[in-house]
């Protein structure tokens, strides 16, 4: 990565989320769509006097939500990347607005692994790397839970061996 006198040339991170993350993202999209569709559908069917015109936006929202759930997770899978080296944690995310987050090992304060209910269902986990940055933590989502545990252990080991004050 080093290219000469003090300059560092970054390459795109190489690791993709687990393939199961596509299903996890799809379910999240569908759940976010289901609540408003259900509310509009129930109101359209039950409110007196009958409000069938509420069923039209429910159907449109359901169609849009289904389209998003089918297409967007595939796109996220193609664009989300992460990598850990002895010097830093790299994460690239975003579909329309691309974001690169780089956390030098000397700045890492904590490493957390989170497995929400849906992540557990899909065998996934999220590794959160907290630094002294005002921008916030670096999150690596959609990892297989074994990969996440190994990564958290590796990051903990590397940061213990890295000189610096993590502030």
Residue 89 sits in a domain whose CATH number is 2.30.29.210
- Is the same domain home to 112 and 53? no
- Is the same domain home to 110 and 149? yes
- Is the same domain home to 68 and 134? no
Closest CA to 141 of 96, 71, 65, 79: 79
- Is the same domain home to 98 and 49? no
pLDDT in tens, 54-89: 788 889 999 999 999 999 999 999 999 999 988 889
Mean pLDDT of the chain: 87
Rounded to whole angstroms, how far apart are CA atoms 155 and 23? Answer: 27
Residue 52 has pLDDT above 60, yes or no: yes
Rounded average pLDDT over 145-162: 90
Q: Where are the beta strands (DSSP E) in 81-149?
A: 81-84, 88-93, 99-104, 108-114, 124-131, 138-144
Residue 70 token pair: 């089918």
Rounded average pLDDT over 93-115: 89
Q: Are 140 and 126 in contact (CB under 8 A)?
A: yes
Residue 47 has pLDDT above 80, yes or no: no
The count of structural domains within the chain is 2
pTM for the whole structure: 0.82
Last residue of a domain, one of 39, 57, 76: 76
In a domain, 54, yes or no: yes
Residue 125 has pLDDT above 90, yes or no: yes
pLDDT in tens, 4-36: 555 556 778 999 999 999 999 999 999 999 999
Residue 116 has pLDDT above 90, yes or no: yes
Which residue's entry shows tokens 């997770």? 73
Residue 45 has pLDDT above 90, yes or no: no
Q: How far apart are the first and last CA of the chain?
A: 24
Query: Residue 61 belongs to what domain range?
Result: 21-76
In a domain, 9, yes or no: no
Rounded to whole angstroms, how far apart are CA atoms 109 and 165? Answer: 9
Rounded average pLDDT over 32-59: 83
- Is the same domain home to 70 and 117? no
Residue 56 token pair: 């039209």
Last residue of a domain, one of 30, 56, 76: 76
- Is the same domain home to 37 and 93? no
- Is the same domain home to 72 and 87? no
Rounded to whole angstroms, how far apart are CA atoms 11 and 121? Answer: 33
């Amino acid at each position: 990565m080093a290219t000469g006198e003090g300059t560092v040339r970054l390459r795109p991170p190489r690791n993709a989320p687990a393939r199961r993350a596509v299903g996890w993202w799809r379910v999240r999209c569908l759940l976010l769509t289901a609540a408003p569709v259900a509310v509009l559908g129930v109101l359209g069917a039950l409110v007196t006097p009958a409000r069938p015109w509420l069923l039209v936006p429910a159907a449109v929202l359901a169609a849009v939500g289904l389209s998003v759930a089918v297409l967007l997770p595939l796109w996220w899978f193609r664009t989300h990347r992460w990598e850990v080296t002895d010097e830093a944690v790299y994460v690239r995310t975003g579909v329309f607005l691309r974001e690169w987050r780089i956390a030098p090992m000397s700045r890492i304060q904590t490493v957390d692994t989170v497995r929400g209910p849906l992540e557990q269902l899909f065998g996934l986990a999220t590794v959160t790397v907290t630094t002294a940055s005002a921008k916030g933590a670096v999150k690596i989502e959609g990892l297989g839970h074994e990969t996440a545990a190994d990564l958290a252990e590796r990051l903990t080991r590397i940061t213990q061996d890295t000189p610096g004050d993590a502030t």
